[in-house]
Chains A and B, each alone.
Chain A
Amino acid sequence: MVHFTAEEKAAVISLWARVNVELVGGEVLGRLLVVYPWTQRFFDNFGNLSSESAIMGNPKVKAHGKKVLTSFGNAIKHMDDLKDTFAELSELHCDKLHVDPENFKLLGNMILIVLATHFSKEFTPQTQAAWQKLTTAVANALAHKYH
């Protein structure tokens, strides 16, 4: 079980309260699909992903990004219990979605970069470290049930 200090939890929770989940979620997933185009392999049915603007404006990308980031919000409510919280989602990503866990790391890194664009100087090295710890822990929790 990953232990988050009080400061780390505070850094995560206080920033999260100011995140527009719909906006940021769409941006995170959009950027993932543009910067690492091979990740598009999971989204054949999303329609037009032929250009950066098509991807960033794609309504399915935005909707799915919101869904993914909303799930992150759940992680933040259960930072002491991530493996159990994500057990079902882990099985889903392995058995049904067949997603290489490496992608969880890529998405996590993308969340940090988008947060940095929004929060600028407030996204201090310490804040970055706390968020990195969270995204790494979520990635590990999502990979935990793989077999």
Chain B
Amino acid sequence: MLSAQERAQVAQVWDLIAGHEAAFGAELLLRLFTVYPSTKTYFPHLGSCADKAQLLSHGRRMLEAVGVAVQHLDNLRAALRPLADLHAQVLRVDPSNFPLLIQCFQVVLASHLQDEFTVEMQAAWDKFLTGVAVVLTEKYR
């Protein structure tokens, strides 16, 4: 699915995120909830206004899962199987929400990397994250 060059782009961007999963994840969630308030319906346990600690904690978990995906580009299905099961059986997040999360992810990357967020990086990450979303929703029915 991803070419060798695209994999290199994905790895290059991940190098900048690794170690900062909590901060990136928290910003991702904050943007998601601010720009697309309907997504908060999937996080009732976070209350009407999630606090910083909750965002950091959940954000870190989400970004760590992205990190797992980055390490297993050759076999996303196997690596993400538990998460795919979780989304299919428990979370059941409507698939239309994944593009919203991906858009916010791109905005986070863009605002942090600025000029370094080249069009090639954006294309590779968009393709990669879309692939992850496909795997996570594949078992829905």
Name the residue on B nearest A131 (C-beta).
B35
Contacts of A118 in B (CB 8 A): 114
Within 8 A of B (CB), among A13-33: 30-31
Bound Cα distance A132, B134 (Å): 24
Which of these binds chain B: A39-47, A79-87, A120-128?
A120-128
User: Given A34-B123, A35-B119, are A119 and B34 neighbors across the interface (CB < 8 Å)?
Assistant: no
Interface size class of chain A, counting residues whose CB lies under 8 Å from the partner chain:
20 to 34
Q: How far is the CB of A55 from chain B (nearest CB, A)?
A: 8
Bound Cα distance A52, B3 (Å): 15
Q: Is A5 part of the binding interface, using a Cβ–Cβ cutoff of 8 Å?
A: no
Name the residue on B nearest A37 (C-beta).
B123
The one of B31, B117, B120 in contact with A128, judged by C-beta atoms closer than 8 angstroms, is: B31
User: Given A30-B119, A31-B122, A34-B119, are A117 and B113 neighbors across the interface (CB < 8 Å)?
Assistant: yes
Bound Cα distance A118, B126 (Å): 19
Within 8 A of A (CB), among B86-141: 103-104, 106-107, 110-115, 117, 119-120, 122-123, 126
Contact A120 B103 (CB under 8 A): no
The one of B103, B104, B110 in contact with A117, judged by C-beta atoms closer than 8 angstroms, is: B110
Contact A125 B120 (CB under 8 A): no
Q: How far is the CB of B13 from chain A (nearest CB, A)?
A: 13
Q: Is A68 part of the binding interface, using a Cβ–Cβ cutoff of 8 Å?
A: no
Q: Is B30 part of the binding interface, using a Cβ–Cβ cutoff of 8 Å?
A: yes
Name the residue on B nearest A30 (C-beta).
B119
Q: How far is the CB of B109 from chain A (nearest CB, A)?
A: 8
User: Given A31-B122, A123-B107, are A117 and B115 neighbors across the interface (CB < 8 Å)?
Assistant: yes
Contact B110 A113 (CB under 8 A): yes
Name the residue on A nearest B34 (C-beta).
A125
Contacts of A120 in B (CB 8 A): 111-112, 114
The one of A35, A52, A112 in contact with B107, judged by C-beta atoms closer than 8 angstroms, is: A112
Looking at A35, A52, A117, which has the most chain B CB atoms within 10 Å of its CB?
A: A117
A-B contact pairs, 27 of them (CB 8 A): A30-B119, A31-B119, A34-B122, A35-B119, A35-B123, A52-B123, A56-B119, A109-B103, A109-B106, A112-B107, A113-B107, A113-B110, A113-B122, A114-B110, A116-B111, A117-B111, A117-B113, A117-B115, A117-B117, A120-B112, A123-B107, A125-B27, A125-B35, A128-B34, A128-B35, A128-B107, A132-B35
Binding site for A on B (CB under 8 A): 27, 30-31, 34-36, 103-104, 106-107, 110-115, 117, 119-120, 122-123, 126
Closest 4 CB pairs of A and B: A116-B110, A125-B34, A116-B111, A117-B110
